[in-house]
A and B are shown apart, each in its own frame.
Chain A
């Protein structure tokens, strides 16, 4: 009897912890050494064990966050941390625009906002190497990069319009149990600004224009992976206060930080 009395608060607390952070928690990604898909200086990188959110952060979760931390509300975020398009699909500080779904991934968020969100959950943004590592798995294997079907699927998503308006969790989960690394939105990584294409990438163009030509991907270690090249090029072209329609995020933690 006594134990039963205690069960309820425990269940409530556990439920609360999950609803406060990610609705379905995180999964462990076992680290390994691998060669990332793109990079002029491609070498083996080591990814240590880490935990990754199963889903990207949703509008609903982000709403809880801005309620708690008003300085990240649409009208209050400072321009140096989030540009004018920040939360553009929100009606006001605490409401989405009509037609936007609470369980769609939050987008139009800057890197600073994403970082603050993860910090406030006791987490961090995944590094680019971690994100790419988790994302090279398909439904059955850890490294699906050589599979033709894997690459085709990603590229066909890149062509699909307005996927950011879909709900989380509708794509199949990958080998690690993570959903939506591909097929929904692109995601911020902690060191997105470590991408340097061909030396000082931005100086290769007369204008401060970061559109890269596909032919540059010939420098990639794996020619199959044009999709990965697009991701790196995209990261190399954005700035930390940009809030973009198709760019969301999820959080990670070091494996030793969790029980």
Chain B
């Protein structure tokens, strides 16, 4: 009987801890009142190692810090999923902050629409001024993470001579991919082991991860897309 009780308790515990509570992180910070170490802050109360005065709690974060750190409500950086690049490096979308992102969802085994989407992306990139490319990423996100391993993405990148900046290839889990597609408003469906049917949408995000433009369709005129990218780069 005790055993059952124990098992039930552990089930209960597991079911409660399955999902992390996402309440606001109110970690108080402490700072020397004399600012002996400049803006250095401590997570626990104590005394300043330089002047030995008691550290004081810092209550508010200054406005400037807020604006540079806070992610806006409509930013894709609100997604916390982890992605792997063609070089096998893991990243979160937020790490792309500061760059204008031009994103499209494809899969490497695609024979129909994807080569044209790749061509569209190349065409867009070619129309952008060279000096703006430091703050630009042209991103391909795989909708077929099962097939598209980092190695496969790497091979695809090399094949298309897109293995250097501003080009970037990303993959994640199927769940994260579905979520990402939901944000991009891209619909896709697996129709055979190697084939997907999908929306052809190229999305432009500004440096804060907010969507500023979407180009839908294949081989369409991309003037508007290029204009929006230029504007987003200039607004830095």
- CB distance B75 to A68 under 8 Å? no
Q: Judge whether B66 is part of the interface by a CB distance below 8 angstroms.
A: no
Q: Which residues of chain B have C-beta atoms less than 8 A from A196's C-beta? A: 187-189, 197-199
Chain B binder among A10-18, A23-31, A51-59? A10-18
Within 8 A of A (CB), among B81-110: none
- CB distance B178 to A2 under 8 Å? no
- CB distance B21 to A81 under 8 Å? no
Min CB distance, B194 to chain A, in Å? 14
Q: Judge whether A220 is part of the interface by a CB distance below 8 angstroms.
A: no
| A69 vs B167: C-alpha distance when bound (angstroms) | 38
Q: Which residues of chain A have C-beta atoms less than 8 A from B4's C-beta? A: 6, 10
Interface of B is mostly: mixed
A205-220 Cβ-contact flags toward B at 8 Å (1 or 0): 0000000000000000
Q: A68, A112, A239: which contacts B21 (Cβ < 8 A)? A: A68
Q: A13, A78, A81: which contacts B9 (Cβ < 8 A)? A: A13
Min CB distance, A195 to chain B, in Å? 6
| A119 vs B176: C-alpha distance when bound (angstroms) | 13
**Residues of B in contact, count (CB < 8 Å):** 39
Q: Are A191 and B178 CB-contacts (below 8 A) given A41-B191, A119-B19?
A: yes
Q: Judge whether B200 is part of the interface by a CB distance below 8 angstroms.
A: yes
Within 8 A of A (CB), among B1-55: 1-2, 4-5, 8-9, 11-12, 14-15, 18-19, 21-24
Q: Judge whether A120 is part of the interface by a CB distance below 8 angstroms.
A: yes
**Residues of A in contact, count (CB < 8 Å):** 42
Closest Cβ neighbor of B7 among chain A residues: A259
Q: Which residues of chain B have C-beta atoms less than 8 A from A17's C-beta? A: 11-12, 15
- CB distance A193 to B186 under 8 Å? yes
Q: Judge whether B128 is part of the interface by a CB distance below 8 angstroms.
A: no
Q: A20, A119, A202, A239: which contacts B216 (Cβ < 8 A)? A: A202
Q: Judge whether B217 is part of the interface by a CB distance below 8 angstroms.
A: yes
Q: Are A69 and B12 CB-contacts (below 8 A) given A41-B197, A78-B73, A78-B78?
A: no
- CB distance A80 to B73 under 8 Å? yes
B124-153 Cβ-contact flags toward A at 8 Å (1 or 0): 000000000000000000000000000000
Q: Judge whether A236 is part of the interface by a CB distance below 8 angstroms.
A: yes
- CB distance B183 to A80 under 8 Å? yes
- CB distance B22 to A6 under 8 Å? no
Q: B1, B12, B188: which contacts A13 (Cβ < 8 A)? A: B12
Q: Which residues of chain A have C-beta atoms less than 8 A from B188's C-beta? A: 193-194, 196
Within 8 A of B (CB), among A160-175: none
- CB distance A71 to B189 under 8 Å? no
Q: B1, B15, B76: which contacts A122 (Cβ < 8 A)? A: B15
Closest Cβ neighbor of A191 among chain B residues: B178
| A20 vs B11: C-alpha distance when bound (angstroms) | 13
CB<8 Å pairs between A and B, sample of 24: A6-B4, A6-B5, A10-B8, A13-B9, A69-B22, A79-B73, A80-B74, A80-B75, A80-B183, A115-B179, A119-B19, A121-B15, A121-B19, A122-B14, A122-B19, A193-B181, A193-B186, A196-B187, A196-B188, A196-B189, A196-B197, A202-B199, A202-B216, A203-B216
New A-B contacts (6) at CB < 8 Å, excluding given A70-B24, A193-B181, A193-B182: A80-B78, A111-B182, A121-B15, A121-B19, A193-B188, A196-B197
In the A-B complex, the 3 residue pairs with the smallest Cβ-Cβ separation, listed nearest first, are: A240-B182, A120-B19, A194-B189
A residues apposed to B, CB below 8 Å: 2-3, 6, 9-10, 13-14, 16-17, 20, 40-41, 68-71, 78-81, 111-112, 115, 119-122, 190-191, 193-196, 199-203, 236, 239-241
